[in-house]
Structure 1
Amino acid sequence: MDWLEADGFEVARQVLQRGIAAVYAIAFLSAVAQFRVLLGEHGLLPVPRYLARTSARGPTLFRWRYSDGLLLAVAWTGAVVALLLVAGLPQAGPPWLPMAAFLLLWGLYMSIVNVGQTFYGFGWETLLLEAGFLAAFLGSNDIAPPVTVLWLFIWLAFRLEFGAGMIKIRGDRVWRDLTALYYHHETQPMPNPGSWFFHHLPKPLHKVEVAGNHFAQLVVPFFLFFPQPIGSIAAAILIITQLWLVLSGNFAWLNWLTIIIASAALGDRAIAAVLPGDPALTPDYGPTPLWFTVVVLAVTALMVVLSYWPARNLFAKRQLMNASFNRWHLANAYGAFGSITRERFEIVVEGTLDGDRWEEYQFKGKPGDPRRLPRQFAPYHLRLDWLMWFLALGVPGDSWFIPLLRRLLAADPRTLRMLRRDPFDGAAPKQVRARVFHYRYSTWSELRRTGQWWVRRPVGLLVAPTSRL
């Protein structure tokens, strides 16, 4: 079936397969480093207790038994397979080999997400699962990429961008009056080294940025479906917009994965037109096996049926954001920042050895020390830091935050490794407490005078001084 073969999209396939696999590698390595502390047998929200209390919301290997050892086996297996795909080794074999590898990644990571509770309640988790599932059907290097799978990726890019744009327009008025970026760079979950500078751009430029964002999310996605080179131009606009977001904030792997997915619309000829020289980008393909064609058509039909719910959601009066409509995390709804907070509050955790002098625990990513410039962590995901941002917004967090304070009281080594600085060098404090501070960016003059990137003031107490039992 020649009509199923997409000649001229080899670079798109390579970017999709290797890029999605790279994000999976980061996700699995993040689980190796963080899962046991947050959700392990002795974690803040232990998976065994969760499974004993309620059934997981979807398929997971841990439904029958969870252990930290099994979690590490799952995560390391996923990381190794993902790195093999990044290197392109399975793709050099028959089509069933990369298919099996990506389906394995999808199944293993779904097992983690479905027991991850609030620490895995982010839209980019389901986005990675859906992208990984689709990547399984892109074929190997010997055959042309299936055109229907590339269209499914383009449809995913459309839902991702247009859904986010509709959430904004329907949500906070600051998106409609173009003033959202007066606040966003300062109040976003985890600023990066460029955020302070972006915040201090002239306000008229902020309005231009918001207008450009609306154009990129509400207009450009439709052109992804157009013939080449229009589809490639639309993809390039989305990619440039996402790179702008990469420069201005830490959003885990959301922006990078969006860039990878949008690459599905990049044609080889369009890429060759902007690359130096005249590279031969498209190889000669062999015939596509009949069994692979049947599988691809079946998967395409499945995704078309499942797409009814997210398509309806795009135009619903009460549009859902980051919602999954099935147990398999396929054909999901996406979106972000439908509302913008105007002020920034931070939870500052302190401890004392003597009940008199209080010292501050420093987190790796979230603002703490006013003199410390925020660091770049994305595409790595600091899950604890992100939940601290939600906690400061008033999202209930007693289920995990109080256990965190208990771990600090016990000077638990694994928990302390999740932080940037333990003020007591491993010693157990006598008491800990949690205070609420108002944060704002310093001005240029304040930065020159004090060396502080942030100006903060205390506004209250979240958790009173608590002692070891």
Structure 2
Amino acid sequence: MSEFLTWFSAGDQRFARLVLQRGIAAVFAVAFFNAACQFRPLLGTHGLLPATDLLAATKFRQTPSIFHWRYSDGLLLVVAWTGVVVALVVVAGLPQLGPFWLPLAAFGVLWALYLSIVNVGRTFYGYGWESLLLEAGFLAAFLGSDRTAPPAAILWLTRWLVFRVEFGAGLIKIRGDTVWRDLTALYYHHETQPMPNPLSRYFHHLPRPLHRIEVLGNHFAQLVVPFLLFAPQPIASIAAAVIIVTQLWLVLSGNFSWLNVVTMVLAFSALGDAQVGLLIPSVGGGLPPISVPFAAIIAAVTVFVLILSVRPALNLVSRRQLMNASFNPYHLVGAYGAFGSITRTRNEVVIECTGSRTLDADTVWHEYEFKGKPGDVRRIPRQFAPYHLRLDWQMWFLGLGASGQWFPALLTKLLQADRAVLKLIRVDPMAGARPTWVRATLWEYRFSTNAERRETGNDWVRTYLAEIVSPRSLSPK
């Protein structure tokens, strides 16, 4: 039995467990803080897309959530701040000092509470990184405590998760858009991505031959390297390092919420203590193998995850590969991938308002400035990731022509000068007062050339396209 338990343990991956548990918990803290700040104006009782509408139309088995018991904005805040506190306790490493069931319970709470939020989050929570965080948190729950060696099976299942994230993303690109196959994707991507960051303009203006090399490097990192995660050491550690470096490159070039951060953290599952010890000599040291009860739990979880892996595995080889799909309402063992198609031009919806009572050719319109999405052509995009600006991201999809069930509600909230919604906006041109009219226009944006920036100081150049929502008011016409 002792030999079996030793084989079931990964005594040479203590550092991997430390990074996985604390890193995933840190992202949970950001995610719950994000919900505490943004959920109420977006999805609260009086939000743009009230969660209560979804709860009334679905049953618990369809959307598992504690909010099926009762929803209120106050309860949402209790859930969000409880998640923040529990996550920070794990980051501090306190549950890891006790028996194996303490970190299991802590991550179980994080997973259950965040699942409750995601499953009622509707459009504003319809992103792959929500499922990725939930699946990562589920696996982290079974990594055990510092009293014993990490369970080898959970570390292998975590590598399987990284494989699906990277290889799935690589396949969806190759299958999805010719620009990934002819290596021209980065001629457009840095400029048209959902939310550029301060360096995106510089990445966009890199020489085109370098852009082609970047795409080749991406294909290597996503289509070849993931297989090496399952190779013997030190090859697996080298593969993990390649993934971490490429994800850091993405962090430098844009705002992608916590997608890149979680992927980097998960890649540590392939790092061995011997390889880490080359940089951090104190890493290492023996730990006793896991206990019989814990081994039984790990065996059951492993079988459970392998069964759930059948559909995602088939999805990878399917010609109709799904991207960012959950095959069960618990967001476990899903399909991942991003940017299967690349937009060639950037269209932005601009919301404007005026305090004028009547409209004529001389009416002066003022723009609402969002925190992350491009607006003022002089403003350099900011870095927000891993924090996620949910309204800004949906505005990007709106510019692509996606239907926005929430958008008319947003315009109404702006006409009402709703305080909660205005907190999601960077600049309110009415300074808290109610406008009499609002409208929405569509503009094409592109990064300024170096010559244009030297001349004007502007980061963007924009061209008017159309008025997409005619002026509307709360006052009787």
TM-score w.r.t. the length of structure 1 is: 0.98
2:390 pairs with 1:388: no
Whole-angstrom distance in 2 between the partners of 1:308 and 1:318:
16
Whole-angstrom distance in 1 between the partners of 2:299 and 2:220:
34
Decide whether the 8 Å contact of 2:349 with 2:440 is kept in 1. Answer: yes
Decide whether the 8 Å contact of 2:369 with 2:376 is kept in 1. Answer: yes
2:118 pairs with 1:113: yes
Whole-angstrom distance in 2 between the partners of 1:376 and 1:18:
23
Cα shift at 1:51? 1.7
Whole-angstrom distance in 2 between the partners of 1:27 and 1:91:
21
Whole-angstrom distance in 2 between the partners of 1:48 and 1:376:
33
Decide whether the 8 Å contact of 2:9 with 2:289 is kept in 1. Answer: no
282-291 vs 113-122, greater mean Cα deviation: 282-291
Q: 49, 52, 56: which one pairs with 2:53?
A: 49
Cα shift at 1:283? 3.5
Q: Which amino acid aligns with 2:234?
A: P
Q: Which amino acid aligns with 1:342?
A: R
Give the 3-state SS of the residue equivalent to 1:347 in structure 2: strand
C-alpha distance after superposition, 1:18-61 (max 9, x if no partner): 00000000000000000000000010011112222334632100
Mapping for residues 12-411 of structure 1, pairs under 5 Å: 12-55=16-59, 57-275=62-280, 279-354=281-356, 355=359, 356-397=363-404, 399-411=405-417
459-468 vs 198-207, greater mean Cα deviation: 459-468
Give the 3-state SS of the residue equivalent to 1:274 in structure 2: coil
1:440 aligned residue: 446
2:473 aligned residue: 467
Whole-angstrom distance in 2 between the partners of 1:151 and 1:450:
54
Could you tell me the percent identity over the aligned residues? Answer: 63
Give the 3-state SS of the residue equivalent to 2:468 in structure 1: strand
Decide whether the 8 Å contact of 2:247 with 2:261 is kept in 1. Answer: yes
C-alpha distance after superposition, 1:59-114 (max 9, x if no partner): 10011321001111111111100000011011111110000000110000000000
Q: Which amino acid aligns with 1:187?
A: T
Whole-angstrom distance in 1 between the partners of 2:69 and 2:19:
36
Give the 3-state SS of the residue equivalent to 1:45 in structure 2: coil
Rate the CA distance shift 1:222–1:287 in 2: closer, same or farther, 3 A: closer
Q: Which amino acid aligns with 1:253?
A: W
Cα shift at 1:166? 0.2
In structure 1, the gaps of 5 or more residues are none
Q: Which amino acid aligns with 1:314?
A: L
Whole-angstrom distance in 2 between the partners of 1:288 and 1:184:
47
C-alpha distance after superposition, 1:237-259 (max 9, x if no partner): 00000000000000000000000
Cα shift at 1:287? 4.4
* Two-structure CA RMSD over aligned residues (Å): 0.9
Cα shift at 1:228? 0.5
Whole-angstrom distance in 2 between the partners of 1:273 and 1:282:
11
Decide whether the 8 Å contact of 2:150 with 2:290 is kept in 1. Answer: no
1:450 aligned residue: 456
Whole-angstrom distance in 1 between the partners of 2:54 and 2:64:
15
Whole-angstrom distance in 1 between the partners of 2:113 and 2:387:
19
Whole-angstrom distance in 2 between the partners of 1:306 and 1:184:
34
C-alpha distance after superposition, 1:430-460 (max 9, x if no partner): 0000000000010000000001000001100
Give the 3-state SS of the residue equivalent to 2:471 in structure 1: strand
Q: Would you say how many aligned residue pairs link Structure 1 and Structure 2?
A: 465
Give the 3-state SS of the residue equivalent to 1:205 in structure 2: helix
Q: Which amino acid aligns with 1:437?
A: W
Q: Which amino acid aligns with 1:362?
A: E
Q: Which amino acid aligns with 2:421?
A: T
Q: Which amino acid aligns with 1:42?
A: H
Give the 3-state SS of the residue equivalent to 1:273 in structure 2: coil
Cα shift at 1:357? 1.1
C-alpha distance after superposition, 1:346-379 (max 9, x if no partner): 0000000014210000000000000000000000
Decide whether the 8 Å contact of 2:257 with 2:387 is kept in 1. Answer: yes
2:436 pairs with 1:430: yes
1:419 aligned residue: 425
Cα shift at 1:272? 1.5
Q: Which amino acid aligns with 1:86?
A: V
Whole-angstrom distance in 2 between the partners of 1:6 and 1:60:
34
Decide whether the 8 Å contact of 2:32 with 2:80 is kept in 1. Answer: yes
In structure 2, the gaps of 5 or more residues are none
Give the 3-state SS of the residue equivalent to 2:277 in structure 1: helix
Give the 3-state SS of the residue equivalent to 1:369 in structure 2: coil
Q: Which amino acid aligns with 2:304?
A: L
